[in-house]
Structure formats: structure tokens, C-alpha cells
């Protein structure tokens, strides 16, 4: 039986949001975002792995101590992209090469328990290799692609595709993914034409959906996310309604 492991990608420094500390520590309704995420996932992993920046690690460790929370902290020494951050998991005491992995972006404060559990249940029921929660929205910065048979075949970032008209209606991810480590991490490590972003030059993560589909692996998009699940802290205006 596979173990469950939680990985939280939280190496952002907070500079784009105008913060002097990692944005995952920003308090939403009196509780840091990271603490909210740790509360959400504790039934699946009592000591998740959190990927942090070198400058952010003392801040994150301080919050954990203050809140009485546990996590393994691993550094992404250089900001090389989200795919690189996920690969940093191998440095963690929580690393397990055959685990079911729950991956959550560290700036999403309102992932609902029902959304998390629904995504996990869909992954297990379909015996999937990679599953992610989605929602149909009027302005999608990431867009799920399906082939002629309705199977998921890609997840694109509009900025990487050079969409001149900008975001349009579509099905987008919310920063919550469930995958099997032994199936997904080798593909994330391997060469791929879309591994490095055209606009950023960084090792991305979302290209992985198309890469897995190309290999015939079982990729599932689960359109169960709520409006609250969509909230993320990129700039202060994104969360000002919830303060």
C-alpha cells in the first residue's frame, strides 16, 4: 500500500506582494496561509515537507514554532521554477519514492476540505497517475486541454503560449495536485521541449500534464473546485476581501 505524503511549495519571497517575508506566512483571518494549509492536510501527513527559500526558512521555522506545528523544511537554494521546487522534495526526510503525493501551492489559503478529499478520492478511484482539481471560470490564466475523446492532454499557461488576447473562459487548475511519485518524478526530471518556460527560462511544472499524457499515463482533471479554492496571494488585491 502506498503511503501519503504532503508537499507544499512555498519558496516565494513575497516581494511581488510587497511583503518583507514569504507570502505563505501572510495572515488571513488571523492565521498564516501556511498554517491553514497544514491544518487542512494533517490527517494525511502529520509532518509535511515545505519547500522554502534560504532567506525564508528562518521565518517559516519561527511560525511553525510559534504555532506548535511540524514540517520538514527543505531549501530551494536558487529560484529555478516550480518543477525544480518539487524535485527538492527528494532532500526531505519525508521523501518516499512510491508515495501518493498531495502537492499544494503555498499561497492558496482557502482550499476546502471537500475539494481536497474529492480530489484524493477521484485519484484513488480512477487508479490515476496524476490528478488535479479544476474549475471553469470566465478568465483562465491556466487552461486544461482535452483531446477528441475527452481525455486530459495538457495544462497550459497563457503567458507561456503568448495568448495575445489574454485570459479567456476555460477550465483552470487551483494549485492542488495528487500524483504517484514513482510515475511522475522521473518525467519531471527528464528532458522535454516544454520543460523550461519561454518567458521565464525556469523549470516549470504544469507542462508535466501534457508530458504525462504523451506517455499514455492516466491524468485526471476533477472539476469540483469552488470560488474560494481559486483565491491565491499574488498581490494584496487578490485577498483584500478576506482580511
- Per-residue pLDDT, averaged over 165-183, amounts to 90
* 4-237 is a CATH 3.30.1490.190 domain: no
C-alpha cell at 185: 518524478
Average pLDDT over residues 129-134: 98
User: For the chain, what are the domain ranges?
Assistant: 4-237
Q: Is the pLDDT of residue 203 over 70?
A: yes
Each residue of 189-199: pLDDT tens digit?
Answer: 999 999 998 88
Return the closest-CA partner of residue 171 out of 219, 129, 230, 115. Answer: 230
Q: What is the pLDDT of residues 67-109, one digit of tens each?
A: 999 999 999 999 999 999 999 999 999 999 999 999 999 999 9
pLDDT given at position 15: 61
**Is residue 2 predicted with pLDDT exceeding 90?**
no
Q: What is the pLDDT of residue 241?
A: 67
Q: Is the pLDDT of residue 238 over 90?
A: no
Give residue 101's pLDDT: 98
Which of 204, 164, 236 lies closest to 14 in space, CA to CA? 236
pLDDT of residue 202: 94
Amino acid at each position: 500500500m502506498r503511503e501519503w505524503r504532503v508537499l507544499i511549495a512555498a519558496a516565494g519571497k513575497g516581494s511581488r506582494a510587497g511583503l518583507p517575508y514569504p507570502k505563505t506566512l501572510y495572515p488571513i483571518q488571523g492565521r498564516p496561509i501556511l498554517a491553514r494549509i497544514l491544518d487542512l492536510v494533517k490527517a494525511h501527513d502529520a509532518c509535511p515537507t515545505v519547500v522554502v527559500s534560504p532567506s525564508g526558512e528562518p521565518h517559516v521555522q519561527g511560525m511553525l514554532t510559534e504555532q506548535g506545528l511540524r514540517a520538514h523544511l527543505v531549501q530551494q537554494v536558487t529560484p529555478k521554477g516550480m518543477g525544480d521546487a518539487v524535485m527538492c522534495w527528494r532532500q526531505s526526510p519525508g521523501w518516499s519514492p512510491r508515495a501518493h503525493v498531495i502537492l499544494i501551492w503555498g499561497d492558496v489559503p482557502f482550499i476546502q476540505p471537500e475539494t481536497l478529499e474529492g480530489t484524493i478520492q477521484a485519484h484513488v478511484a480512477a487508479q490515476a497517475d496524476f490528478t488535479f482539481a479544476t474549475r471553469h471560470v470566465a478568465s483562465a490564466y491556466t487552461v486544461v486541454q482535452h483531446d477528441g475523446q475527452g481525455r486530459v492532454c495538457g495544462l497550459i499557461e497563457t503567458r507561456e503560449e503568448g495568448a495575445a488576447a489574454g485570459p479567456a473562459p476555460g477550465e483552470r487548475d487551483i494549485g492542488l495536485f495528487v500524483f504517484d511519485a514513482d510515475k511522475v518524478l522521473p518525467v519531471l526530471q527528464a528532458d522535454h521541449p516544454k520543460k523550461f518556460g519561454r518567458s521565464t527560462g525556469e523549470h516549470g511544472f504544469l507542462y508535466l500534464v501534457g508530458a504525462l499524457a504523451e506517455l499514455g499515463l492516466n491524468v485526471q482533471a476533477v472539476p469540483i473546485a469552488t470560488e474560494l479554492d481559486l483565491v491565491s496571494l499574488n498581490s494584496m488585491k487578490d485577498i483584500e476581501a478576506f482580511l
